[in-house]
């Protein structure tokens, strides 16, 4: 295959936005660079495969040897170096999880691992030094399946039949991705069957080029190729600048950068278009040659830097990029280049080295995992404070009420025994966290109530989170209320900052919508909540709805973050400045007061302000830890609010 300088330049267009975005230096849509990489990989891999299949020279072993030469040396160098750095830097609870991710990455399953780990309680992504290897997992799974599929289809169905089959597979993957992006966005992001279409765009182009069904467009005038190449660049650069954390992605929005890569590869073979010439400039090709190592190294550098500092300033981000470029060059020069040279390193050496590196990496990961992150490096009393299970209340079985549980009546009644439930505590995990105080107060007042809480649950009819279409959970709650006329009061607790702004110290770009959504992104959250609360109040006009405020939140209230600070030699904060809590409240309190003023059966009742003094919202009260993480009260912290909860229940 003739060397294509423009493809190295395209790699530069792919990798630079990713690392700049990750370093916090701008380019809000820089994440689309990964999608460009997928198209490039699909094209290059398939080009060689088809040429070999058509010439009856296909060998799956030779294919895997090429992949091993290309991927493994730099990958395992990075993995082992990162493991060493993490052993010095990370707390045991984080190092244990690192060990698990190291095993998953080595077994070509990083994307599956991180998909299973994603969720409502996910901490900062920067705490996962191997998170970026999810994309390698997708590519590696493609390498395992696609060559055999292409070979078998070519033999059984013929050349055109194989092309049609792969086109159908790609189209199905794309349609499934569009659907999943609206209903299961984490799956759409991580799972190979929902990302395969991006690689297959490149694969289909390669098949057409090798078999001369689609050439360098000899029939097109020069100006037409210039237009196509510039359109391709624009199709990549516009999303890099215009997309952000609120963009529903991948799905249909990933199609534009993928088509941009398709166009640039298509018109680039003759090297004449203006876009191709730009991509072929020596600075572009130089960075492109470093792109694989640069992608491998940049995230561990950023992650471990973040771990030490707790945040990244602009100068920190620039420093991380400089370090990443240095490591990438060393990796490319002394690891990638020598081991890709068959005259210097033979097939048997590559095979034996790959097997050894895999076993070594798995062994290290399993050891870290089974040794529980090597806790002997840290004071055991400090580690005991890091286990959130020690600080969660003992009725966690009452949480996670889904429609199935609700339909079976599997909803806890808590409070005084043998008393008809007269209220329901409803909401998300913040509602669950305050439940010890609510039901202890109920018991004191000889009252009982239901606990209807679930992760992320917002009890607003007709409202759903964008990317998680469907209101089955809310519909089940409404039915639950209709079937229980003894419930006279609804106490609604929620992560209001997230609900009303979409952004918190650990969330970005959450959007809640209803049928009136106008496309304004997270700015619409306020309207969605107001509409949903109005619907709820109208559905149950004879029931009282009490809206609680919310707890102070932030990494300063997360004991694990404080232990990380101490491990890095930084001073612990042990509390959120009270002025920061005031700023959080201004993001939701006036909205809740306005809802209460507009709806006669709705009351806004602050509960959590007593957790702060005029200077600080402390993490500890004496020796009592008040929070189990940065936005959930510990059970002891919740019980501190029992007297206030008794006052609240007098509204019954």
Q: Give the residue from 164, 186, 204, 205 showing the smallest Cα distance to 251.
A: 186
Q: How much is the pLDDT for 444?
A: 96
How confident is residue 224, by pLDDT bands cut at 50, 70 and 90?
confident
% of the chain surpassing 70 pLDDT: 97
Q: pLDDT of 195-210, one tens digit each?
A: 999 999 999 999 999 9
Q: Give the mean model confidence (pLDDT) for residues 560-584.
A: 90
Has residue 273 got a pLDDT over 50? yes
Rounded Cα distance, 424 and 488, in Å:
8
pLDDT value at position 88? 93
Helix, strand and coil in the chain, % to nearest 5: 65, 5, 30
For the cut 70, the answer to whether the pLDDT of residue 12 exceeds it is yes
Q: Do 296 and 18 form a contact (C-beta atoms < 8 A)?
A: no
Per-residue pLDDT, 190: 96
CA 639 to chain centre: 33
Going by pLDDT thresholds of 50, 70 and 90, the confidence category of residue 469 is: confident
Q: Supply φ then ψ for residue 575, to 5 degrees.
A: 165, 155
**Is residue 319 pLDDT above 80, yes or no?**
yes
pLDDT at 652: 66
Q: Which of 448, 514, 348, 500 is nearest to 649 (CA)?
A: 448
So what's the pLDDT on residue 218? Answer: 56
CATH code assigned to 386-649: 3.40.50.1110
Residue 651's pLDDT is what? Answer: 63
Residue 620: Cβ within 10 Å count: 15
Q: Find, among 378, 339, 357, 308, the residue nearest to 102 by Cα.
A: 357
In tens, the pLDDT along 70-88 reads 999 999 999 999 999 999 9
pLDDT for 121 beyond 50: no
pLDDT confidence of residue 215: 60
C-alpha–C-alpha distance, residues 569 and 567, integer Å: 5
Tell me the average pLDDT across 388-414.
92
Q: Is the pLDDT of residue 643 over 70?
A: yes
Using the predicted structure, report yes or no on whether residue 571 has a pLDDT greater than 50: yes
Q: Please check whether residue 139 is in contact with residue 72, taking contact to mean a CB–CB distance below 8 angstroms.
A: no
Check residue 120 and give its pLDDT: 40
383 vs 509, which has greater pLDDT? 509
Strand bridging mode 627-629 / 489-493:
unpaired
Whole-number Å distance between alpha carbons of 490 and 648: 12
pTM of model > 0.85: yes
Residue carrying the six token digits 């130089």:
286
Chain mean pLDDT for the chain: 93
Please give the C-alpha separations between residue 233 and each of 266, 273, 295, in angstroms, as whole numbers.
Answer: 12, 12, 21
Least confident of 154-158, 292-296, 377-381: 377-381
Mean pLDDT of 587-595: 97
Confidence bin at 462 (pLDDT 50/70/90): very high
* One-letter-per-residue 3-state SS of 153-208: HHHHHHHHHHHHHHHHHHHHHHHHHHHHHHHCHHHHHHCHHHCHHHHHHHHHHHHH
pLDDT digits (tens, 9 = 90+) for 402-419: 999 999 999 999 999 999
The residues spanned by each domain of the chain are 5-377, 386-649
Structure confidence at residue 59 (pLDDT) = 94
Question: Per-residue pLDDT averaged across 412-436, rounded?
Answer: 97
For residue 216, is pLDDT > 60?
Answer: no
User: Taking residues 23-35, what's their average pLDDT?
Assistant: 96
Q: What's the chain's Rg over C-alpha atoms?
A: 28
């Amino acid at each position: 295959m003739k060397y294509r300088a423009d493809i190295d330049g395209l790699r530069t267009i792919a990798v630079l936005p990713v690392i700049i975005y990750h370093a916090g230096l701008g380019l809000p849509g820089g994440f689309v660079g990964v999608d460009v990489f997928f198209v490039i990989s699909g094209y290059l891999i398939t080009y060689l495969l088809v040429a070999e299949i058509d010439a009856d020279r296909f060998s799956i072993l030779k294919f895997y040897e090429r992949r091993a030469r290309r991927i493994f040396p730099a990958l395992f160098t990075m993995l082992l170096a990162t493991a060493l750095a993490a052993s010095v830097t990370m707390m045991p609870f984080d190092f244990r999880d690192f060990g698990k991710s190291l095993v998953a990455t080595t077994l070509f399953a990083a994307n599956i691992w991180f998909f299973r780990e994603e969720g409502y309680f996910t901490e900062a992504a920067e705490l996962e030094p191997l998170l970026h290897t999810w994309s390698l997992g997708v590519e590696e799974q493609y390498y395992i399946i696609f060559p055999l599929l292409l070979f078998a289809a070519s033999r059984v169905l013929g050349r055109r039949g194989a092309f049609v089959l792969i086109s159908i597979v790609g189209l199905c993957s794309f349609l499934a991705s569009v659907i999943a992006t609206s209903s299961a966005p984490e799956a759409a992001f991580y799972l190979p069957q929902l990302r395969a279409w991006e690689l297959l765009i490149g694969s289909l182009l390669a098949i057409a080029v090798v078999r001369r069904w689609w050439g360098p467009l000899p029939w097109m005038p020069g100006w037409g190729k210039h237009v196509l190449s510039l359109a391709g660049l624009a199709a990549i650069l516009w999303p890099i600048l215009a997309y952000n954390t609120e963009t529903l992605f991948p799905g249909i929005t990933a199609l534009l950068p993928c088509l941009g890569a398709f166009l640039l590869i298509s018109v680039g073979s003759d090297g004449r278009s203006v876009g191709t010439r730009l991509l072929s400039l020596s600075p572009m090709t130089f960075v492109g040659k470093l792109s694989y190592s640069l992608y491998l190294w940049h995230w561990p550098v950023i992650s471990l830097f973040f771990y030490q500092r707790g945040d990244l300033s602009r100068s920190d981000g620039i420093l991380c990029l400089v370090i990443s470029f240095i490591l990438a060059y060393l990796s490319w020069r002394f690891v990638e280049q020598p081991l890709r040279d068959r005259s210097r390193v033979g097939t048997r050496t590559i095979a034996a080295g790959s097997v050894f590196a895999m076993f070594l990496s798995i062994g290290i990961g399993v050891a870290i995992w089974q040794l529980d992150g090597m806790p002997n490096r840290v004071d055991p009393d400090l580690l005991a404070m890091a286990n959130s299970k020690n600080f969660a209340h003992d009725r966690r079985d009452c949480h996670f009420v889904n429609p199935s549980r609700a339909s079976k009546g599997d909803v806890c009644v808590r409070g005084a025994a043998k008393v008809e439930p007269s209220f329901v505590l409803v909401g998300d995990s913040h509602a669950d966290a305050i439940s010890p105080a609510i039901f202890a107060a109920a018991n004191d007042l000889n009252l009982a109530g239901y606990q209807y809480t679930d992760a992320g649950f917002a009890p607003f009819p007709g409202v759903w989170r964008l990317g998680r279409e469907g209101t089955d959970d809310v519909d089940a709650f409404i039915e639950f209320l209709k079937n229980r006329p003894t419930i006279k009061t609804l106490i609604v607790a929620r992560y209001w900052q997230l609900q009303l702004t979409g952004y918190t110290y650990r969330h970005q770009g959450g959007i809640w919508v209803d049928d009136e959504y106008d496309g304004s992104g997270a700015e619409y959250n306020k309207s969605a909540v107001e509409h949903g609360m109005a619907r709820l109040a109208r559905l149950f006009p004879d029931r009282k709805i009490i809206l609680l405020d919310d707890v102070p939140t932030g990494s300063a209230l997360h004991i694990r973050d404080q232990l990380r600070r101490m491990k890095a030699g930084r001073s612990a904060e042990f509390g959120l400045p009270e002025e920061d809590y005031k700023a959080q409240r201004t993001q939701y309190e006036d909205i809740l007061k306005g809802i209460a003023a507009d709806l006669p059966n709705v009351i806004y009742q602050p509960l959590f302000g007593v957790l702060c003094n005029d200077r600080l919202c402390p993490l500890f009260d004496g020796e009592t830890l008040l929070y189990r993480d940065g936005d959930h009260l510990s059970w002891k912290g919740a019980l501190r609010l029992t007297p206030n909860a008794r006052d609240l229940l007098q509204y019954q």
